[in-house]
Amino acid sequence: MSSPTPKQVLFAHFAAVAKTIGNAHRIDLLQQLAQGEQSVETLARKTGLTVANTSQHLQHLRRAGLVAARRDGTFIYYRLADDAVLDVLAALRRVAERNLAEVEQVVRGYFDNRDAMEPVTREELARRLKTGDVTILDVRPEDEFALAHVPGAINVPLKELEARTAEIDPMKDIIAYCRGAYCVYSYEAVAKLRAKGFRIRRLEDGLPEWKAAGLPVESASKEN
Amino acid sequence: MSSPTPKQVLFAHFAAVAKTIGNAHRIDLLQQLAQGEQSVETLARKTGLTVANTSQHLQHLRRAGLVAARRDGTFIYYRLADDAVLDVLAALRRVAERNLAEVEQVVRGYFDNRDAMEPVTREELARRLKTGDVTILDVRPEDEFALAHVPGAINVPLKELEARTAEIDPMKDIIAYCRGAYCVYSYEAVAKLRAKGFRIRRLEDGLPEWKAAGLPVESASKEN
DNA sequence: AGAGTATTCAATTGAATACTTGAATAATAA
DNA sequence: TTATTATTCAAGTATTCAATTGAATACTCT
């Protein structure tokens, strides 16, 4: 048996990367990291995995070149190694949505029927950012808001929405966003606030897609 | 344990699709199918797998929604279910090339150093197609040429190049192309013909990328 | 109906993967 | 130096995956 050709070597590497993504927990971890870098402990809590298991999955992702890490004291923070990782996930989602009946069904049943919620395009939001005539509501957890958010957004995590509606100007239109596709937070925020008479819609996707489009973001530590 | 959320169900499906791609043989099959639909027997021969094994991998790909099949007499022809499958492969390649040292090394050592071969962009080739001042040389096997090719291309499979150089006008510039990234045929064609004094360069990628860019193709059975 | 061809299926075997658990490691604070 | 916290590693177990082999299936031709 001859030695493998360059093509075979490369396909084996690509297969290894794909196989690494071929685990729902690791996809969840990558989607969490799309919001910004986070520690192992934080990632474990958000995904519901044990710390040991989270760590093992992160090693796997790191060996595959999908994430990178830095140590800060006893904490180790992981981040996406390359924003192009999100392109892989988006491409996978697109193929699955178009070609797997079960996926289409779940998406239609849970997400699309809620699009009586009239998703707002990124372009439209970018335009309204300039005119300042809209409240931008980020319903993600505070730590993710701190990492990065749409400039001028206010942060009311979904869990606190009922308790904090007084903070939201009822005279202005509202656009809510969260982590991205399949994050139910913005759907639920729209439902809750519409029930109280607010004029609210949701952004078509999430913060990572906004950033990938080159649109401006702010974070708690610096402006850009 | 509660029932899975829609997000969890969707991530499980995406993971299953990624896992299906996480095998070098199945990646090879998908790249072969990027050239057009082919029978199990043909795919087995091109990938060096047994027919039974090829068939099993194709079932896996079909269940994942990545390929589709049609029967013609005793032959079953497989094709890509969705051109977006190639987007997944391209995104995987991009991430691997940028983030895995081993991949970068193989690419640099085998492919990029040959880019003293001055790859031609698709746009440039499209322009020169119109002026008709260039020979377009398709060095893929004849059956793939028959499935689809750049209009006006001549087909001299790499294996037959030595024997058929008389068919190539030495007074015209030549642009060679093959299956796509990591297909060595066009690299080798450039090397062989340059050694004989021909003015030849290679297209930056392959026929699938040309098609995906919306550029015209012909096939043996019909024009479009 | 029977033979031939192409393809798929099912069982087996060995390899690979994922989770859990407990131990080990690295950094910090006292 | 010792204790604490965060994280990783290694071993064991259960599950899944891939290739092989032989049988079964589907279609065509005579």
Is the CB of B71 within 7 Å of strand D? yes
CA-based nearest residue to B18, from A110, A210, A25: A25
Tell me how far apart the 2 most distant CA atoms of chain A are, in Å. 74
Model confidence at B206: pLDDT above 80? yes
Model confidence at B75: pLDDT above 90? yes
* Nucleotide nearest the Cα atom of A58 (by C1'): D8
Model confidence at A115: pLDDT above 70? no
A204 CA to D6 C1' in angstroms comes to 38
Catalytic residue from among A178, A189, A193, A203: A178
A24 lies in a domain? yes
Model confidence at A87: pLDDT above 80? yes
The CATH number linked to B202 is 3.40.250.10
Average pLDDT over every residue of A80-109: 93
Is the CB of B53 within 7 Å of strand D? yes
Shared domain check, A118 and A189: yes
pLDDT (0 to 100) of residue A1 = 43
Which of A12, A31, A95 comes nearest B88 by C-beta? Answer: A95
Model confidence pLDDT, tens digit, residues B122-161: 999 999 998 888 999 999 999 999 999 999 999 999 999 9
CA distances A155 to A83, A144, B39, Å, are: 24, 10, 56
Structure tokens at B112: 């990029």
pLDDT (0 to 100) of residue B40 = 97
A90 lies in a domain? no
DSSP H/E element including A68: strand A67-72
Count of structural domains, chain B = 2
Model confidence at A113: pLDDT above 80? no
Shared domain check, B194 and B116: yes
Task: Give the chain B residue whose CA is nearest to the CA of A64.
Answer: B100
Shared domain check, A121 and A76: no
Least trusted range by pLDDT, from A196-210, B9-23, B112-126? B112-126
- Pick from A1, A3, A10 the residue to mutate for testing the B interface (most B CBs within 10 Å): A10
The answer to whether the Cβ–Cβ distance between B96 and A17 falls below 8 Å is: yes
The answer to whether the Cβ–Cβ distance between A19 and B19 falls below 8 Å is: yes
A209 CA to D8 C1' in angstroms comes to 33
Across chain B, mean pLDDT equals 91
pLDDT (0 to 100) of residue A221 = 60
Task: Give the chain A residue whose CA is nearest to the CA of B26.
Answer: A15
Which of B20, B85, B91 comes nearest A84 by C-beta? Answer: B91
Model confidence at B224: pLDDT above 70? no
Q: Using an 8 Å CB-CB cutoff, list chain B residues near A64.
A: 100
Shared domain check, A126 and A61: no
A122 lies in a domain? yes
Average pLDDT over every residue of B45-72: 96
Which of A6, A19, A24 comes nearest B11 by C-beta? Answer: A24
Residues 73-112 of A with CB under 7 A from strand D: 74-77
- Pick from A93, A95, A187 the residue to mutate for testing the B interface (most B CBs within 10 Å): A95
A178 assigned to active site: yes
B222 lies in a domain? no
Shared domain check, B118 and B79: no
Q: Are A183 and B7 in contact (CB under 8 A)?
A: yes
pLDDT (0 to 100) of residue A181 = 78
Model confidence at B222: pLDDT above 80? no
At residue B221 the predicted structure's pLDDT band, cuts being 50, 70 and 90, is low
Shared domain check, A205 and A115: yes
Model confidence at B1: pLDDT above 50? no
| Chain C footprint positions (protein CB, under 7 Å) | 4-10, 17-23, 26-29
A76 lies in a domain? yes
pLDDT (0 to 100) of residue A165 = 93
pLDDT (0 to 100) of residue B97 = 94
Model confidence at B62: pLDDT above 70? yes
Model confidence pLDDT, tens digit, residues B177-192: 999 878 888 889 999 9
A203 CA to C29 C1' in angstroms comes to 46
| B59: amino acid identity, one letter | Q
Shared domain check, B200 and B151: yes
A222 lies in a domain? no
| Chain D footprint positions (protein CB, under 7 Å) | 5-10, 17-23, 26-29
- Give B80→chain A minimum CA distance, Å: 11
Strand C CB-contacts below 7 Å? A 19, 22-23, 25, 49-50, 52-53, 56-57, 60, 71, 73-74; B 39-41, 51-52, 54-56, 58-59, 69, 74-76
- Which backbone phi and psi does A202 adopt, to 5 degrees? -120, 150
B223 lies in a domain? no
pLDDT (0 to 100) of residue A139 = 96
Structure tokens at A165: 């509606």
A221 CA to D1 C1' in angstroms comes to 38
B29 lies in a domain? yes
What HEC string does B67-112 produce? EEEEEECCEEEEEECCCHHHHHHHHHHHHHHHHCHHHHHHHHHHHH
Task: Give the chain B residue whose CA is nearest to the CA of A111.
Answer: B6
Q: Which domain holds residue B65?
A: 6-85
Shared domain check, B118 and B33: no
pLDDT (0 to 100) of residue B153 = 95
3-class secondary-structure state, position B143? helix
Average pLDDT over every residue of A74-85: 96
How many other CB atoms are there within 10 angstroms of residue A42's CB atom? 18
Shared domain check, A78 and A119: no
3-class secondary-structure state, position A202? strand
At residue A108 the predicted structure's pLDDT band, cuts being 50, 70 and 90, is confident
At residue A220 the predicted structure's pLDDT band, cuts being 50, 70 and 90, is confident
pLDDT (0 to 100) of residue B35 = 95
Shared domain check, A207 and A116: yes
Please list the residues that pair with A80 across neighbouring strands.
A67
The CATH number linked to A15 is 1.10.10.10
Shared domain check, B203 and B122: yes
Shared domain check, A121 and A55: no
Quote the percentage of chain A above a pLDDT of 70. Answer: 96
Structure tokens at B129: 């197609």
Is the CB of A143 within 7 Å of strand D? no
Report the C-alpha gap between A83 and B12 in whole angstroms: 22
